[in-house]
Each structure stands twice: as C-alpha cells, then as structure tokens.
Amino acid sequence: MKPVNLLVVLICLISLNVFSQNIELADDSFNKKDFDKARIEYIKAASMGNVRAYYRLADIYLHGLGREKDQITAILWLSLASEYDYRESKKILAKLLSGFNQTQLTIIDTARAAFIEKRGKEQVSNLYEPEILKDNLAHKILFSESEGLDIDTSFTNESFDDDFNSTIDIANEMLGAFVGLDTIDEDDGLSEQKDYNEYYYLVAEYDVAPDGSVRNIEPIQLLGNGEQRHGVFALASYDFTPPTFAKTKVYKSQRAYLGAASFDNRRFRQSHKTVYSQIKRQVAKFKNSDLAMDKYQYAKALMNFPFLPREEGQVEQLLMTAIKADIPMAKLELGLKLYREQSDIKEGIYWITEAAKQGITEAEYRLARLFVESPWVKPDEHKAQKWFKSAVEKQHTHAIRKYAELQLFANDKSLLNPDQAFEQLKVIETLQQENPQFYYLLARAASLSTQETHAVAVKQLKQAIHLAKFYNWPTNEWNNLLKNWTRGGKVSIQDI
C-alpha cells in the first residue's frame, strides 16, 4: 500500500465554477472508452450534485480507466455517493477503507471531511437547490376566489367551439419536444389507415400566465394524423381566468386532453377500435412485466390515456418503483405530477430537483423556472441562471427563451446581458415564429442591445402584437410600449 499524501489528496478539493452539465455526453464518452473526456464531463455533473457522476468517477479512479488507479480519489467520490446511499457506494467504500491502517485512515478521514464540506450534499443544496417557503405550503393556486381550488383544469374539445378556420401554422418548436409513449410495436402497424388519418389524439402540458393567456405548450402524447393543429390553436388562444396565489397573479401549469384524448373509454373504443386494441395490448405488456422501465412506461400510459382503468395512487406507486430502480425520468414525471396537481408541493419540488441533478434537461429547465415563478420557492435569480444555462447548453428551446427573459428583466443588475439575450434568441427564431412572447423578448433585447438599431426593436414588437392579437392575448402593455418607442423615445434599462 502506498503512503497517503494529504497534500496530493487535497488537490481534488479545487472548486470548479460549473454552471452546466451533460451527463449524456459523459455516458456516451464512457461507453466509447474515451475516459478522459468522460471524466471531465462527470466532474461537471458532479459539481451540480449528480450522484451518478460521483459513482462513475469513483469507478474511473478505482479501476484506472484512462489513467492510473487511484484508490484515494475513488474513496472521495464514493464518500459523496454514500451521502445519498447510492447503489453499492457504502459497501464498496467500507471495503476500501478496511485496507488502510489507523494512521492512513486519519489522513483519509481528514480529506473526506474537507471534500464533503466543499462538494457534499449541504454545499450542493446551498448552491443549486430550492429553499421551500414552508408557510406558503398551506396555500394553493386558485383560478378565482369564487371558483375555489381548481387543481387541474382538463382542457378538452368541449372547452371551445370546434367550428373555426385557422390560417396559422403552429410550429412544432413553439410547442416543445414530444415526449411520447413511443411504444407501439412496429409489427403492430395501424392496419385501419382511414381510422388513423381521420383522428388525432393529443395530450399537452401548458402554462396559464398571470394574465390568463396560454403559454409554453408542450405536447406529451400524440397519435393519429388528424388536424391536431386546430386543437392546439384553440388551446393557445383560450382565455383563462388568471390564476392567483394569495391574491397575487401567478403562473399555473396544466394538462390538456385534445381530440380523441378527451373521449371516455366507451367512446374511444367505439370510435377507434384498432388503435384502442393496440394501446390495450401494449399497456398489458407493461402491466405484466417485472422490468422497472416497463413500470415507468405503464405509469406514463395511465397518465397519457385517461380512459385506461387504474386504482387511486397507482401512478405514483409505479413511478416510485421506477425511481428506486434509478430511472431519472420517473423522478421528473412524479415531480411534475405532484406539483401540477398540487397534491404534494414539497415532494413535487424535491423530485424535480433530483431529476435536474441527474442531468435531465427538461428538469433543469423546470427547476430554473421554479426559482423565478413558484410561490412555494424562495426567489433566487442566481440559482435560476445556473440551471437555465445548463439546459441552454443542451439547446432546450424554452430554456433559451426563458434565460433570455432573465437576462433582460433580472432584478440583480449583474445578470443583465441584452446583447447575449438577443444573440441567443436569434438562434431559435425559426423555431419560434408563431410565439408572441418570443418576439416581445426579441424586441426588448434589440432595444437594449449595443449592436441593434431602434428600428429592429420596433419591427419585432409590432410582430409580437400582431401574433398576440391572433392568440387573444392582452396587448395593452405592449401597445403602450410601441407608442412610446414610435414617438422617438429610446427605451433604457431603467424602463424595464
């Protein structure tokens, strides 16, 4: 056994100024045996509290993958993983420590304590995790004082008049990335093509903004080739009662069931027999499987196909089974469900945070928003910035837009960066051509940028107002701003 040099051990304590992680890139590099690149990416992820990165780094150092074996550094990373009781971390750590004498253990324990103080659970919490406003947990978001609590307004076809003509093409990236079930076997292709072409089935998540307009629509489940854009347009232009929390207008996340997704079991079975039987057959496979991933898929199916029978609390139980098997997406699904339905806000925020720490891009974006929008989380623009930046690095469209918003309107002036906001927004312009909020942000960024002209700002604001009217959004504030700009007044940062 080599002597333990405390100075060498403590080199690992150097703090990294990390604001992004890409665990998928780390895993890909690891699988390709590019261990040096994998190690760098795992260290980035570890700095943001990714427990799987702790475990993988211990593996790299313990077995000398791409470098010399280093038991001491492996012990340090295992010490962090052990704080979360991750996999076999405690067992492996105990076995490694048993090979040292008391003098060596004293040195190692000193290094472990310093390492945990610098990178451990408490430090990660201080730098990246939300602080819950406990007094606010007793209150929930309402859609009006008279209506009482509306936990999850299910927006269905009956919520609007289907008899309208839409001349606008809803761009996919305005809606977000599909996170579909993706489980219909290729061999089970839809044999009744007519049935498939004449309907659509769409489940989407969205936000009701403080002004009652619909924002950030993200399709979750899409089936069929019918005119789903009509349903999406109707949702996007629907005028909700502004959601409130303690009489303050806030954002509220919701879920919509459009097209055939709004049908009950009997109606869907009668209208779409082939698709119904295929769904039932695939879901039965998940239900009867012992695999944790199939339990996760079964939970998703129950959420995405509300006509399927289920027991109370079954979805949550299935997701917890998947979580125990270390399926990160299950953490996000459970967190979003608990938060959206306001059934357990604290637990919902916890699982969203844990999913973000494991590098799930959507979770990073959602967590960042909690820091600036949630009435149950202490506002923290710097923590929001860190998580937005991580999601932006992975080209998350909504994160790019929301991060630009922070760079334009942050209360902390050190976070303001209109030039960078403008550049980032231009990157996603082709994906956001039907989004009024995007053009409003682009206009504000242009008005403050040192690189753009006032005319560019006016042009973008006019486009924002045009689209906003189409979607039935209130535009008084934007119209007033346009009047100010077109009277020759250049807006300044103090005007924001």
Please report, for residues 82, 210, 246, 265, the alpha-carbon distance to residue 135 in angstroms, rounded to integers and kept in the order given.
32, 22, 12, 41
pLDDT in tens, 32-43: 999 999 999 999
Q: What is the pLDDT of residue 186?
A: 39
The arithmetic mean of pLDDT across residues 39-51, rounded, is 92
Which is higher by pLDDT, 194 or 130? Answer: 130
pLDDT in tens, 394-434: 999 999 999 999 999 999 999 999 999 999 999 999 999 99
**Residue 119 parent element (H or E):** helix 102-119
The arithmetic mean of pLDDT across residues 131-149, rounded, is 81
Q: Has residue 88 got a pLDDT over 60? A: yes
The arithmetic mean of pLDDT across residues 443-453, rounded, is 93
Which residue from 408, 407, 327, 394 is spatially nearest to 365, judged by alpha carbons? 394
Q: What is the pLDDT of residue 2?
A: 52
Residues 263, 294: contact at Cβ < 8 Å?
A: no
* Rounded distance between C-alpha atoms, residue 112 and residue 24, angstroms: 28
Highest mean pLDDT among 2-6, 173-177, 295-299, 324-328: 295-299
Q: What is the pLDDT of residue 120?
A: 94
Phi-psi group of 69: left, alpha or beta (phi > 0 → left; psi -120 to 50 → alpha; rest → beta)? beta
Q: Has residue 314 got a pLDDT over 80? A: yes
The arithmetic mean of pLDDT across residues 5-18, rounded, is 43
End-to-end CA gap in the chain: 63
The arithmetic mean of pLDDT across residues 186-192, rounded, is 40
| 247 exposure class (CB count in 10 Å sphere: 0-12, 13-18, 19+) | exposed
The arithmetic mean of pLDDT across residues 322-344, rounded, is 96
| 445 exposure class (CB count in 10 Å sphere: 0-12, 13-18, 19+) | buried
Q: Has residue 386 got a pLDDT over 90? A: yes
CA 46 to chain centre: 19
Q: Has residue 179 got a pLDDT over 50? A: no
Reported confidence tier of residue 13, pLDDT bands at 50, 70, 90: very low
Q: What is the pLDDT of residue 192?
A: 44
Please report, for residues 11, 47, 115, 122, the alpha-carbon distance to residue 110 in angstroms, rounded to integers and kept in the order given.
13, 20, 9, 18
**Contacts for 142 with CB less than 8 Å, ≥ 6 apart:** 148, 149, 150, 243, 244, 245
**Percent above pLDDT 70 for the chain:** 82
Question: What angle (nearest 5°) sits at the alpha carbon of residue 348, between those of residues 346 and 352?
Answer: 120
Q: What is the pLDDT of residue 98?
A: 96
| 266 exposure class (CB count in 10 Å sphere: 0-12, 13-18, 19+) | exposed
Which is higher by pLDDT, 220 or 462? Answer: 462
* Calculated CA dihedral for residues 88, 89, 90, 91, nearest 10 degrees: 50
The residue to which tokens 């051990």 are assigned:
9
Q: What is the pLDDT of residue 82?
A: 97
Residue 256's beta-bridge partner residues? Answer: 155, 204
The arithmetic mean of pLDDT across residues 83-97, rounded, is 95
Q: Has residue 95 got a pLDDT over 50? A: yes
Q: Has residue 494 got a pLDDT over 50? A: no
Residue 252's beta-bridge partner residues? Answer: 208
Q: What is the pLDDT of residue 6?
A: 45
The arithmetic mean of pLDDT across residues 48-62, rounded, is 95
The arithmetic mean of pLDDT across residues 389-398, rounded, is 94
Mean per-residue pLDDT of the chain:
86
Least confident of 5-9, 344-348, 405-409, 426-430: 5-9
Q: Has residue 187 got a pLDDT over 80? A: no
In 191-251, at which residue ranges do the beta strands (DSSP E only) sit?
200-208, 214-224, 244-245, 248-249
Q: What is the pLDDT of residue 229?
A: 80
Phi and psi for 295 in degrees, rounded to 5? -65, -40
The arithmetic mean of pLDDT across residues 442-449, rounded, is 96
Q: What is the pLDDT of residue 173?
A: 34
Q: Has residue 481 got a pLDDT over 70? A: yes
Which residue from 90, 21, 101, 33 is spatially nearest to 58, judged by alpha carbons? 90
